[in-house]
Amino acid sequence: MSWIAVAIAFAGVAPAALAAESGMSMWQLGFQASVSDVMDDIVSFNNLTLVIMTAVVLFVLGLLIWVIMRFSAKANPVPSKTSHNTTIEIVWTVVPILILVVIAVPSFRLLNKQLEIPEYEMTIKATGYQWYWGYEYTDEGMEDVSFDSIMVGSYSDPEADVADRQEVADARGLTLNEVPRLLATDYDVIVPVDTIVRLQVTAADVIHAFAIPSMGVKIDAIPGRLNETWFEARETGVYYGQCSELCGKDHAFMPISLRVVTKEQYAQWVEAAKNDVDKANEQLWAAIASDKKVAEAASEEVSVAAN
């Protein structure tokens, strides 16, 4: 394969087709699209603090400019000997306190929402290894459903990377662009839509961190400790994350791939996964591809009818 073709393939990390179901887009700035209530609150809190910080910076900048112009040696040849102003001192003490209170209230509310796990419907345990993730479905009757999830492709060999991702794409009925570089994994974490999932996180060797931006999930994975968080995805699709703790030489190459499916697809996957995870995945990819074709056909019919 020519280097030009490889470069084009690398450029397709998050094209429009992938962005439609992953929250990512080309040359993206800011957060990935939110698909959970927790992430909605994180985005709202970010916007609030951004407005407050912008207002403070602009005010201080304006004040500095005014002081420079008003009290320069040229404009004020006889300097004032004022050394104390009670009103100003009260204002610059009280106003920052009020600003911190305005920030603290939604901050504590958000922290409580992240830490207080609601009544959950299923539990998944994620274990960080050097350098990949292992998953266990720990609910009753699902104790045998477990697998390791390793990055697809190669970060050091461009041609091998494209070839590996193309092989996975062909097996799943996807395009190459739907198997993003450095993010796709050989085994996805499968969860149903509109379901509260308790996530237990630990590590087997060094400290890792489990993070899925679209879900508002980010929690440390510490050896010998079991941390917990939760999420509830409201849209189907595949959502990507990565280890967010500098854990060693391959830190950047232990991605997280979370695939949210319909409850019917999940029920079928679970029944098959109890016996054979690989067979369950094959059936799931076939079901997703079939639903995708039906949706595309329906979309074409609507487009034709509209024209």
Q: In the structure, what pLDDT confidence band is assigned to residue 18 with cuts at 50, 70 and 90? A: low
- Give the DSSP letter string of 95-114: HHHHHHHHHHHHHHHHHHHH
How do residues 280-290 score in pLDDT, each as one tens digit? 999 999 998 88
- CA contacts within 13 A on the Cβ side of 269: 25
212 lies in a domain? yes
Question: Where is average pLDDT lowest: 44-53, 65-74, 146-155, 213-222?
Answer: 65-74
In this structure, the answer to whether residues 273 and 247 fall within a common structural domain is yes
Are 73 and 80 in contact by the 8 Å Cβ rule? The answer is: no
265 within 8 A of 238, measured Cβ to Cβ? no
For residue 125, the cross-strand partners are 136, 200
Closest CA to 273 of 135, 69, 172: 135
The band of 114, judged by pLDDT with boundaries at 50, 70 and 90, is: very high
Residue ranges making up the domain that contains 215: 122-150+185-304
- Do both 190 and 106 map to the same domain? no
156 falls within a domain: no
d(CA 242, CA 219): 11
35 has a pLDDT exceeding 80: yes
Query: CB-side exposure of 188: number of CA atoms within 13 Å?
Result: 25
In the chain, what is the greatest distance between 2 CA atoms, to the nearest angstrom?
89
In angstroms and rounded to an integer, the radius of gyration of the C-alpha atoms of the chain is 25
Instruction: Please state the domain count of the chain.
Output: 2
Q: For residues 188 and 175, which has the higher predicted lDDT (pLDDT)?
A: 188
Using the structure block, give the residue that is written with the tokens 């041609």.
159
Here the CATH number for the domain that contains residue 83 is 1.10.287
Of 115, 142, 161, which marks where a domain is finished? Answer: 115
| 145 and 109 within one domain | no
> Residue 128: beta bridge partners?
133, 203
pLDDT exceeds 60 at position 20: no
Mean pLDDT to the nearest integer, 213-232: 96
Burial class (CB within 10 angstroms; exposed 0-12, middle 13-18, buried 19+) of 81: exposed
Mean pLDDT of 4-27: 51
